[in-house]
């Protein structure tokens, strides 16, 4: 249980870091680096491997108390303190700084394009607007993730005494729920900023209800897997 709690944010933040690298090179250096399907798979695999490796000490450090329940907190020993600090640095702070750095460069580049009159006229203002919308979505996703998981990594540095262990465990449980609730916000943000996501959700729900074929309000995309399967 504790291993999965450490694995989940680690994998997510390294995937977000990989997305920020992709956005940076796609927008700032579009000709020097292109993320193909093979490269994307390698980046996702590397994110999972890094997250699994950095979360592995949790399997050995977390124990159980006299009631045979998993301890909420790391042990108040030098091993527990060292892992708390390493986990905070390698899984949260350092990747967060790189994510902020990449997006800062992307925003600076987009702002320079938007203020360049010749570039705007040449692109009729379509490309900068599309880029800005995409970056806004990823900025919102990263902000929600970082703000919701910051209390979790902060409380890992805390080693409460046995006298207030029950109250502190309830607080940690609430913080854990807040942290994991960040995943619930992602579909909402994707539906707001991404038309392809909305179209895919419509296809999914329409195919389950079969109502879209009885009306002309929505046309399924012919390139989707659902369309090919049903010979649309």
pLDDT digits (tens, 9 = 90+) for 19-33: 888 888 888 887 777
Could you give the CA distance from residue 19 to residue 202 in angstroms, rounded to a whole number? 25
- Say whether 6 sits in a helix, a strand or coil: helix
3-state helix, strand, coil in the chain (%, to 5): 75, 0, 20
Q: Which pLDDT value is given to residue 171?
A: 80
Contacts of 119 (CB under 8 A, 6+ apart): 113, 128
Could you give the CA distance from residue 72 to residue 79 in angstroms, rounded to a whole number? 16
Q: Which pLDDT value is given to residue 164?
A: 62
Local confidence band at 17 (pLDDT 50, 70, 90 cut-offs)? very high
Whether the per-residue pLDDT at 170 is higher than 60: the answer is: yes
pLDDT tens-digit readout, 85-106: 888 899 889 999 999 999 888 8
- Best mean pLDDT range from 40-44, 56-60, 142-146: 40-44
Domains of the chain by start residue, with CATH: 1-193 (1.20.1070.10)
pLDDT tens-digit readout, 61-85: 776 666 666 666 676 777 777 888 8
Long-range contacts of 187-191 (CB under 8 A, 24+ apart): 189/137, 189/140, 189/141, 189/144, 190/137
Q: Which pLDDT value is given to residue 127?
A: 46
Phi/psi at 223 (5° precision)? -90, -5
């Amino acid at each position: 249980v504790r291993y999965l709690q450490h694995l989940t944010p680690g994998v997510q933040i390294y995937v977000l870091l990989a997305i920020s690298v992709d956005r940076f090179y796609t927008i700032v250096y579009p000709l020097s680096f292109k993320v193909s399907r093979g490269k994307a798979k390698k980046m996702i695999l590397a994110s999972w491997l890094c997250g699994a490796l950095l979360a592995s000490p949790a399997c050995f450090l977390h124990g159980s108390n006299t009631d045979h329940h998993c301890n909420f907190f790391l042990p108040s020993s030098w091993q527990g303190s060292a892992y708390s600090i390493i986990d905070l640095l390698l899984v949260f702070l350092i990747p967060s700084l790189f994510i902020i750095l990449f997006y800062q460069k992307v925003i600076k580049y987009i702002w320079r394009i938007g203020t360049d009159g010749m570039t705007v006229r040449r692109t009729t203002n379509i490309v900068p607007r599309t880029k800005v919308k995409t970056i806004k979505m990823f900025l919102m996703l990263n902000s929600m993730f970082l703000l919701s998981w910051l209390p979790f990594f902060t409380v890992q540095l805390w080693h409460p005494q046995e006298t207030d262990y029950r109250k502190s465990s309830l607080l940690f449980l609430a913080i854990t729920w807040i942290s994991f609730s960040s995943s619930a916000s992602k579909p909402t943000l994707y539906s707001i900023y991404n038309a392809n996501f909305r179209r895919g959700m419509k296809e999914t729900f329409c195919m389950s209800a079969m109502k879209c074929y009885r009306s002309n309000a929505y046309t399924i995309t012919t390139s989707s897997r659902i369309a090919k399967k049903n010979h649309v």
